[in-house]
Structure 1
Amino acid sequence: MINHLLRIIVVVSLYIGGAQASSDDLYKLYKLSAGDVISIKVYGEENLTIEEQKIDNREVIDYPYLGVIKLGGRTLHQVQAEITAGLKGDYLVDPKVNVAIVKYRNVYINGLVNKPGGYEYEPGLTVQKAISLAGGVMSKYRRSARAYRTKLSDENKYADLTAEQLANEFEKNTKTEVELYQVIQPGDTIYVVASFW
């Protein structure tokens, strides 16, 4: 009995620790893309500070003195380093630059949920929480529903498929199936489907 209880505690601890590590890693390794909103602060320099900048489909910004800076596919740290290096010397002696996320791009929950659509991402968001944001799984599909995750680059592949076609497609490619406790990332789409056989 005690051994069983200890095993449960260890599993829960690993799960909680893993979820936290994923959230921290997301911030350190997170790649910016269209839909993210960032801030750029240069301490003591209001004319170089941008409180909120939504990244559009071009995935670049026109920054004072430095011109066009590429944001898409880069981390916050990479953008911060580029701005710091660009301002240092000619413009400022020792610029103190901070680039931060104001708002992550949405996650999307589609399929057999009560309120499909885009929802604001928060670090540590799991599949289960995302489905809850979308009003949960429709009651008649709760027992047979499965969740699948796709990336933004896959969206055109699934855009015009019916619910039955989606279920068949995902059954063929089980690598996209996710567990409810798995942490998702900004821009991910969760499809909730049910088997029809």
Structure 2
Amino acid sequence: MKLNLLIAALLALVLAACAPNAVLAPGDRVASTATAVETDYQLGVGDRIKVNVYNEPALSGEFAVNDAGNVSFPLIGDVRAAGTTPSEVARVVQTKLADGYLRDPKVSVEVAVYRPYYILGEVKAPGQYPYASGLTVVNAVATAQGFTPRAQKGVVFIRKFGEDTEKPYELTPDLKVFPGDTIRFGERYF
């Protein structure tokens, strides 16, 4: 009787470990999806912005945020872009152009191309992919040609752009990916 009870308990433990939605070990914390919501996009290295200076086509165009986090503009030189929003960059460019170059300039800035995201681990085609607005982790997995047979599908590890450590998240259909994020899927053991 005790042997049957022990075998049943071991079998239940093994089946629980093999379950595709077995998430984390006891005591591990899972970050909530609510923390993944950003309100205003911060520019970073690898982004390309489109600048429009009204009635000044020679000063308008697409510009890349360089490795130093700056954007080089005609006439005014480098403007700090990394860590700022497109509207903040527009204000700085407008102020600098108004300081001796143009009378009452009107400047708008928008993101033309977002920095890429990265997906690693147990997906069929890990690598760097272009970001598209509204991207979810499920979409990113589809872009990477799906999971490998050994993928742990219940938990995804995400390192947000600019952070040093990755955090575990429960894989849900609405879990968002942001530009520059690194997504990693671990390997399941059973």
After TM superposition, the score normalised by the length of structure 1 is 0.70
Structure 2: stretches of 5+ with no match in the other structure = 1-32
Q: Which residue of the partner structure matches residue 54 of structure 2?
A: 43
Q: Which residue of the partner structure matches residue 189 of structure 1?
A: 182
Q: Could you tell me which of 132, 157, 175 is aligned with 1:148?
A: 157
In structure 1, distance between residues paired with 2:94 and 2:153: 53
Letter in 2 for 1:106: P
**Percent of pairs identical after alignment?**
31
Q: Which residue of the partner structure matches residue 163 of structure 1?
A: none
Equivalent pair of 1:145/1:194 in contact (CA under 8 Å): no
Equivalent pair of 2:153/2:171 in contact (CA under 8 Å): no
Q: Which residue of the partner structure matches residue 171 of structure 2?
A: 179
In structure 1, distance between residues paired with 2:152 and 2:159: 22
**Structure in which a larger fraction of residues adopt helix:** 1
In structure 1, distance between residues paired with 2:158 and 2:48: 23
In structure 2, distance between residues paired with 1:189 and 1:143: 17
* Residue-pair matches, total: 155
Structure 1 stretches of 4+ with a deviation exceeding 4 A read 142-145
Moved more, 74-83 or 88-97: 88-97
Q: Which residue of the partner structure matches residue 64 of structure 1?
A: 74
In structure 1, distance between residues paired with 2:152 and 2:135: 23
**Secondary structure of residue in 2 paired with 1:86:** helix
After TM superposition, the score normalised by the length of structure 2 is 0.72
CA-based RMSD: 2.5
Shift of 1:44: 0.8
In structure 2, distance between residues paired with 1:137 and 1:53: 36
Aligned pairs for 1:1-197 (under 5 A) are: 25=39, 29-50=40-61, 52-88=62-98, 90-138=100-148, 140-142=149-151, 146-154=155-163, 175-180=167-172, 181-196=174-189
Q: Which residue of the partner structure matches residue 16 of structure 2?
A: none
In structure 2, distance between residues paired with 1:40 and 1:124: 23
Q: 1:49 to 1:143 in 2, by over 3 A?
A: closer
Q: Which residue of the partner structure matches residue 4 of structure 1?
A: none
